[in-house]
């Protein structure tokens, strides 16, 4: 039996990698996950025997369904469907569809690596764009690590210092939406105004170029389709 956390990871990866900028249904996601599992030999005939599925034609589906439900409960699947590809709430078809603003802390917590914590500390837990402190109950400031070139497999970003900036939730949202544009490795233009990122980040130019090229709002993006959203 595939460990549940591994299966959940595969479900998320397949959701991000398999559907381009089109929406998808639960059945499509389940089938894509199964194909991925079998073609990569992650799911073996022995796992079929352990499957909770009662339908012999859909061995393993019960477990995959269970993981999708779990992730939908955590809002991750719904978030991918709605925010990554801008699928409207009324198009998701999820009975438990959350409101427009949904928590994103689960994904970001997963990515809160030792490196991200180190870079946040180097920035004194202040947004590198606006430097406005966001105090938490314990007195510490809340900031988020943003990967300039997204980590999702289809984007190929890495979890290194040359791909990370520290942002407040507002500026993180703007970067997710592809609003800012880098005009140098340490200067971004937002709504016609230039901001110098301080402390100066150590971003790789390749990551900046990827973001500028593929971000939403860039009509010159490859194939005419901006790809970055998260
Ligand atoms: Zn900010």
Residue 229 lies in a domain: no
If asked whether residues 119 and 79 sit together in one domain, one would say no
**Most confident among 22-36, 123-137, 138-152, 210-224 (mean pLDDT):** 123-137
> 56 CA distance to ligand 1 centroid (A)?
53
pLDDT of residue 170: 92
> 158 CA distance to ligand 1 centroid (A)?
23
If asked whether residues 177 and 77 sit together in one domain, one would say no
Residue 230 lies in a domain: no
Residue 98 lies in a domain: no
Task: State pLDDT tens for residues 145-154.
Answer: 999 998 877 7
Alpha-carbon span 87 to 89, nearest angstrom:
7
Does residue 43 register a pLDDT over 50? yes
Q: Is the distance from CB of 61 to CB of 53 less than 8 angstroms?
A: yes
> 193 CA distance to ligand 1 centroid (A)?
14
Residue 20 lies in a domain: yes
> 17 CA distance to ligand 1 centroid (A)?
29
Does residue 21 register a pLDDT over 80? no
Task: State pLDDT tens for residues 48-104.
Answer: 776 666 666 666 676 787 788 778 777 777 766 664 444 333 344 444 444 444 444
If asked whether residues 84 and 109 sit together in one domain, one would say no
> 65 CA distance to ligand 1 centroid (A)?
38
If asked whether residues 142 and 191 sit together in one domain, one would say yes
If asked whether residues 82 and 143 sit together in one domain, one would say no
> Among 28, 60, 92, where does a domain finish?
92
> Among 62, 92, 122, where does a domain finish?
92
> 168 CA distance to ligand 1 centroid (A)?
4
Residue 118 lies in a domain: yes
> 174 CA distance to ligand 1 centroid (A)?
9
Residue 44 lies in a domain: yes
Total domain count, the chain: 2
If asked whether residues 124 and 208 sit together in one domain, one would say yes
Which residue range(s) make up the domain with 149? 105-224
pLDDT of residue 103: 45
If asked whether residues 176 and 110 sit together in one domain, one would say yes
Residue 97 lies in a domain: no
- At residue 154, φ and ψ (nearest 5 deg) are -70, -15
> 114 CA distance to ligand 1 centroid (A)?
22
Mean pLDDT across the chain, nearest whole number? Answer: 77
The contacts found for 198-203 with CB under 8 angstroms, 24 or more apart, are 198/128, 198/131, 199/122, 199/123, 199/128, 201/128, 201/164, 201/165, 202/161, 202/162, 203/148, 203/162, 203/163, 203/165
> 121 CA distance to ligand 1 centroid (A)?
16
If asked whether residues 192 and 125 sit together in one domain, one would say yes
pLDDT of residue 225: 56
If asked whether residues 85 and 122 sit together in one domain, one would say no
**Most confident among 8-17, 188-197, 220-229 (mean pLDDT):** 188-197
If asked whether residues 206 and 124 sit together in one domain, one would say yes
Confidence band, pLDDT 50/70/90 cuts, at residue 203: very high
Does residue 179 register a pLDDT over 80? yes
Alpha-carbon span 230 to 226, nearest angstrom:
12
> 51 CA distance to ligand 1 centroid (A)?
47
Per mean pLDDT, which range of 78-92, 103-117, 155-169, 191-205 is the poorest?
A: 78-92
If asked whether residues 68 and 16 sit together in one domain, one would say yes
> Among 92, 118, 144, where does a domain finish?
92
pLDDT of residue 74: 72
> 157 CA distance to ligand 1 centroid (A)?
22
> 14 CA distance to ligand 1 centroid (A)?
32
Token pair listed for 78: 């719904």
pLDDT of residue 42: 82
Residue 62 lies in a domain: yes
> 181 CA distance to ligand 1 centroid (A)?
15
Q: Which residue has the tokens 């381009």?
A: 20
> 2 CA distance to ligand 1 centroid (A)?
41
Confidence band, pLDDT 50/70/90 cuts, at residue 165: very high
If asked whether residues 135 and 191 sit together in one domain, one would say yes
Average pLDDT over residues 205-217: 87
> 210 CA distance to ligand 1 centroid (A)?
22
> 98 CA distance to ligand 1 centroid (A)?
26
> 100 CA distance to ligand 1 centroid (A)?
21
């Amino acid at each position: 039996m595939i460990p549940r956390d591994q299966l959940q990871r595969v479900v998320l990866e397949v959701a991000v990698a398999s559907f381009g900028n089109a929406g998808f249904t639960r059945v499509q996601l389940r089938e894509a996950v199964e194909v991925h599992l079998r073609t990569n030999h992650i799911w073996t005939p022995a796992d079929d025997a352990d499957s909770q599925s009662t339908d012999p034609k859909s061995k393993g589906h019960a477990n995959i369904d269970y993981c999708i439900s779990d992730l939908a409960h955590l809002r991750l699947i719904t978030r991918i469907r709605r925010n990554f590809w801008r699928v409207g709430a009324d198009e998701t078809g999820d009975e438990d569809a959350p409101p427009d603003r949904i928590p994103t802390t689960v994904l970001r917590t997963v990515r809160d690596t030792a490196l991200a914590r180190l870079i946040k500390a180097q920035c004194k837990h202040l947004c590198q764009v606006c430097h406005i402190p966001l105090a938490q109950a314990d007195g510490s400031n809340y900031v988020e690590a943003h990967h300039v070139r997204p980590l999702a497999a289809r984007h190929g970003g890495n979890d290194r210092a040359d791909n990370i900036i520290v942002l407040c939730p507002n500026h993180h949202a703007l970067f997710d939406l592809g609003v800012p544009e880098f005009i140098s490795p340490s200067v971004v233009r937002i709504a016609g105004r230039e901001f110098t990122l301080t402390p100066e980040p150590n971003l790789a130019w390749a990551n900046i170029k990827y973001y500028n090229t593929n971000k939403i709002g860039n009509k010159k993006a490859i194939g005419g389709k901006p790809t970055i959203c998260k």
